[in-house]
């Protein structure tokens, strides 16, 4: 399972956070602290995260003589370096005042204990000159958390001065810098198909869609010309197939438009054009959905009508099925998919790549 790692550096006087870095995977061999800092962190706290588990705190080092901005992380992680909750070490109920004295008790009776935590406090066992006591500081244990990830991913912030410095731990079947893509069955999108692919693959896919568009145009044109002769007889089934043919062609048009739009977005062509990008995102998503869903509904209506004709060949269904039925279906589809406009968002990835996503979380 993929891990998320937060490295936090604190000064030794007031336990102020002076440096924070985020990683996905495992610890690198070498950490680099910013050389612009006026002092090097004296306490290094490493926190491990998993998407389905609570965080684990490890006090890795207590540094007193570090004179470089580099830190070699050849460190063994074990229960000896774990910073547990104080409640897991104490038995019984204590008042707040009694609990403070018990902190010293923990350092005195657990010889391998280096640190522990309690609510918004973090304590380090000071063992200098055989003085077994707890040094406790206020600690914001949510300082590394952020809300930039999608799909219920866990967001871990790095440098708090840089808004783009964060990593996401994605749930199962989700991936991407913001957990914006998924590989669940029937859940992939054009954006996920084009993600991390070369431009040659993009051109091949656009060419394939354009070829599909031309074949569909030829097929729908022939179908429309064939049905056109039957429109004079004012048969409802003829009107229905004629309208379905037109909708099919518009579906192909918006499919071609969508693939070109996604291609431009993944190549960073909408940089600094957020409003235009959002309008194209919302309109392409919404119009593609209503034409595709309308096609499904009208195809189902044709199937139902043909079944009735087979079982009741002498009955006239024009009174039960007429153009009003088609109009009701189209209005129903338009209304029931209007929410996609409001839930369509633009996500910007690395190198100014933008993706049009539908986010309900």
More confident residue, 85 or 29: 85
Instruction: Go through the chain and tell me how many residues it has.
Output: 361
Specify the pLDDT at position 265: 83
Whether residues 264 and 321 share a domain: the answer is: yes
Given a contact cutoff of 8 angstroms between Cβ atoms, the answer to whether 286 and 279 are in contact is no
Distance CA 97, CA 90 (A): 15
Whether residues 285 and 338 share a domain: the answer is: yes
Which of 167, 198, 219 terminates a domain? The answer is: 167
Which of 136, 167, 198 terminates a domain? The answer is: 167
pLDDT digits 0-9 by tens, 200-242: 777 787 888 889 889 988 988 888 888 776 666 667 777 888 8
Residue for token digits 């207590």?
62
**Phi-psi group of 129: left, alpha or beta (phi > 0 → left; psi -120 to 50 → alpha; rest → beta):** left
* Mean pLDDT for the chain overall: 76
Residue for token digits 């370096």?
81
Whether residues 233 and 301 share a domain: the answer is: yes
252 φ, ψ (degrees, to nearest 5): -70, -35
Distance CA 313, CA 153 (A): 57
Question: Does any domain span residue 181?
Answer: no
Distance CA 269, CA 128 (A): 60
CATH number of residue 221's parent domain = 1.20.1070.10
Predicted TM-score of the model (pTM): 0.65
Question: Does any domain span residue 183?
Answer: no
pLDDT digits 0-9 by tens, 298-318: 898 888 888 887 888 777 666
Among 231, 20, 253, smallest CA distance to 144 is for 20
Per the structure, the count of domains in the chain is 2
Domain of residue 105: give its range: 4-167
The CA–CA distances, whole Å, from 335 to 240, 258, 284, 324, 331 equal 21, 21, 16, 16, 6
138 φ, ψ (degrees, to nearest 5): -70, 140
Question: Does any domain span residue 180?
Answer: no
pLDDT band at 336 (very low <50, low <70, confident <90, very high): very high
Distance CA 161, CA 139 (A): 19
Specify the pLDDT at position 139: 78
Whether residues 62 and 13 share a domain: the answer is: yes
Which pair of tokens denotes residue 333?
């589809």
Whether residues 229 and 121 share a domain: the answer is: no
Among 240, 354, 355, 215, smallest CA distance to 308 is for 240
Whether residues 100 and 219 share a domain: the answer is: no
pLDDT digits 0-9 by tens, 16-59: 777 788 877 765 555 555 545 555 667 777 788 877 666 666 66
Given a contact cutoff of 8 angstroms between Cβ atoms, the answer to whether 346 and 331 are in contact is no
Distance CA 353, CA 45 (A): 34
Q: Rounded to a whole number, what is the distance in angstroms from the first to the last CA of the chain?
A: 23
Q: Which helix (H) or strand (E) holds 56?
A: strand 53-62
């Amino acid at each position: 399972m993929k891990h998320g790692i937060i490295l936090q550096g604190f000064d030794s006087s007031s336990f102020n956070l002076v440096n924070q870095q985020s990683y996905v995977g495992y610890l690198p061999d070498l950490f680099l602290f910013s050389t612009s800092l006026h002092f090097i962190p004296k306490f290094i706290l490493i926190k491990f995260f998993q998407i389905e588990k609570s965080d684990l705190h490890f006090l890795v080092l207590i540094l007193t003589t570090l004179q470089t901005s580099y830190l070699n992380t050849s460190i063994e992680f074990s229960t000896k370096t774990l910073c547990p909750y104080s409640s897991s070490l104490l038995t019984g109920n204590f008042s707040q005042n009694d609990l403070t004295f018990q902190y010293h008790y923990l350092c005195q009776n657990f010889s391998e204990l280096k640190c522990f935590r309690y609510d918004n406090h973090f304590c380090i066992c000071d063992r200098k000159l055989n003085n077994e006591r707890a040094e406790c500081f206020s600690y914001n244990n949510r300082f590394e958390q952020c809300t930039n990830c999608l799909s219920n991913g866990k967001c871990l912030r790095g440098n708090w001065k840089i808004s783009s410095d964060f990593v996401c731990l994605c749930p199962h079947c989700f991936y991407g810098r913001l957990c914006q893509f998924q590989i669940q069955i029937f859940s992939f999108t054009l954006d996920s198909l084009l993600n991390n692919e070369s431009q040659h693959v993009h051109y091949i896919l656009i060419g394939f869609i354009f070829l599909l568009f031309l074949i569909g145009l030829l097929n729908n044109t022939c179908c429309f010309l064939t049905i056109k002769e039957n429109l004079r007889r004012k048969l409802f089934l003829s009107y229905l197939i004629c309208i379905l043919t037109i909708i099919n062609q518009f579906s192909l048009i918006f499919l071609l438009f969508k693939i070109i739009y996604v291609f431009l977005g993944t190549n960073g062509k909408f940089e600094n054009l957020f409003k235009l990008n959002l309008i194209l995102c919302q309109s392409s998503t919404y119009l593609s959905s209503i034409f595709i869903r309308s096609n499904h509904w009208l195809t189902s209506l044709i199937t139902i009508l043909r079944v009735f004709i087979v079982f009741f060949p002498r009955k006239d269904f024009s009174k039960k099925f007429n153009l009003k039925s088609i109009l009701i279906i189209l209005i129903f589809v338009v209304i029931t998919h209007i929410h996609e406009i409001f839930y369509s968002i633009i996500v910007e990835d690395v190198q100014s790549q933008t993706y049009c996503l539908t986010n309900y979380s």
